[in-house]
Chain A
């Protein structure tokens, strides 16, 4: 297995992580520049089907290390196998995950070579892969390279590289990796569900609602609520319910503008703004928020901002990357449905 680009397929409970296919896509571009092929490596137990999938997504062939002792991921035996498989490779790519970070780290030590995790771009020059990765929490970017050592190891960030189309007509050789599973004093006992609730300041995605959220004329409050203010709050709660649904699908935290908090629609703890919480998520969706300066001060450093508002002149559109001028009571549920479908939830 000389002169190859090797790609590790990350998997959990029998399913490959889609980021593995993105890694194969990245591997293909590198392999083409180097004039070599792409081999997928799968380590685990009962993982043969993943080899076929890897080939469909672009690998030329695959190597499988299959053993009952490998059914739960443990970095030590997986690294033993990967180091054996990658010893002669030019480049080793892995998708980034909690598992692969430590796996790649150990393989790099075994093979006394360089590892650069969390890569968002690659260029090949004279047999060397120059990768771009974020540092200082993304405030800066750096170009990194591993010279004079092989394999050059990288983990690629999710969604930084396009996912190839699967071609079911592709086929390739699937070989077995011969290796001994060493005794490892680490035992996986089981899994617990991830605990719910993302904090606003930590969230990678935030969906926020503003004053406009209470304004749904199509909603009739139940008869028991006669007080006008209470009716308004009831309508707002329904509106925030839509915001919450969208947040749920995106695993996002829910935020609000000061106007919504002042009007009593939602607690102060959710307020995003100069006098609420200052946030910097990857994605910020603002529904029914006009974009007053204090709110903008609290979220302007978000990587991507999407605004949904009836008013095309709303100041928030000046900061937004994508905008929808429309009725949030229709657009927000439509987005929830569309995300559900496309993200396969």
Chain B
């Protein structure tokens, strides 16, 4: 099977993020593989181990954004590709999905594309579905388990985590699958994987190497970023004649303040 995992490099979630001069800073915090993407890489590797084939990790980022790809290689992906170009900087998911779709087409003969459910920085969770739409492939998002997969009939059956419960869906591939953390326990990279990853020459695909239609202008822009103001809490005591009255008042206040 030929499997692709789209991975993103993000600041460590323990980082203190601040805004200075309208720009986001995370200080010394290391840049890591987006935590949700670890589950995607793990699932891709498990399928490869079960059915044979290769896993290619693709990441869109600046020229030095290789940590996420190295971690993916260290976990066991066979190949890694960095998609990078000055014209790709700061683009929104509409354009990112276009670029990723083009990269996947360039890889060629891909059976499955995996994504983590969202990235911990921008938190949109839409890129996977948009890539699927561009490729014209089924999109299976919020996948918590792949129950069956048959490379011969090219069918898979999954369970998706919706609020109402788990939706069981069958689809054909090629398909785009984005996964939730319930799906597996990501492996640690092996030492041999670590060595291989640190020695790897990661190819860079620029705009020239991809077939991109139309312009690369973001639809969504971010005119402002700021840290939410620290609210000094003054405790609001809820009183009443009976516990029932107090409870009713409190619940009302909570609903009013959009807490529940």
Residues in A lying within 8 Å of B, measured CB to CB: 12-13, 73-76, 79, 97-99, 101-102, 104-106, 108-110, 112-118, 130, 134-147, 149, 159-160, 184-195, 250, 282-283, 303-307, 317-327, 330-331, 333-335, 337-339, 342-343
Contacts and interface: CB of A to CB of B under 8 A. Distances in A.
B133 A159 contact: no
8 contacts: A97-B163, A115-B124, A115-B219, A144-B220, A186-B140, A186-B172, A192-B159, A338-B244
A12 B221 CA distance: 33
A326 B219 contact: no
B34 interface: no
Contacts of B247: 331, 334-335, 337-338
B176 to A, nearest CB: 10
Contacts of A117: 124-126
B200 interface: no
A108 B166 contact: no
B122 interface: yes
A145 B243 contact: no
A342 B94 contact: no
Contacts of B132: 106
A108 B260 contact: no
A146 B219 contact: yes
Given A115-B126, A143-B222, A187 B170 contact: yes
B221 A189 contact: no
The size class of the interface chain B forms with chain A is: 35 or more
Contact of A106 (B130, B225, B235): B130
Contacts of A102: 126, 129, 139, 141
Given A144-B222, A304-B257, 17 more contacts: A76-B138, A98-B163, A101-B126, A101-B141, A109-B97, A117-B126, A143-B223, A189-B170, A190-B168, A192-B165, A318-B233, A321-B236, A322-B235, A334-B246, A338-B244, A339-B251, A342-B255
Interface of B: 13, 17, 19, 24, 92-94, 97, 120-127, 129-130, 132-134, 138-142, 157, 159-172, 214, 218-228, 233, 235-238, 242-244, 246-248, 250-255, 257-260
Interface SS majority for chain A: mixed
A12 B260 CA distance: 21
Nearest to A103: B129
A102 B93 CA distance: 13
B142 A98 contact: yes
Contacts of A79: 133
Given A193-B165, A194-B166, A326-B246, A114 B133 contact: no
Contacts of A99: 162
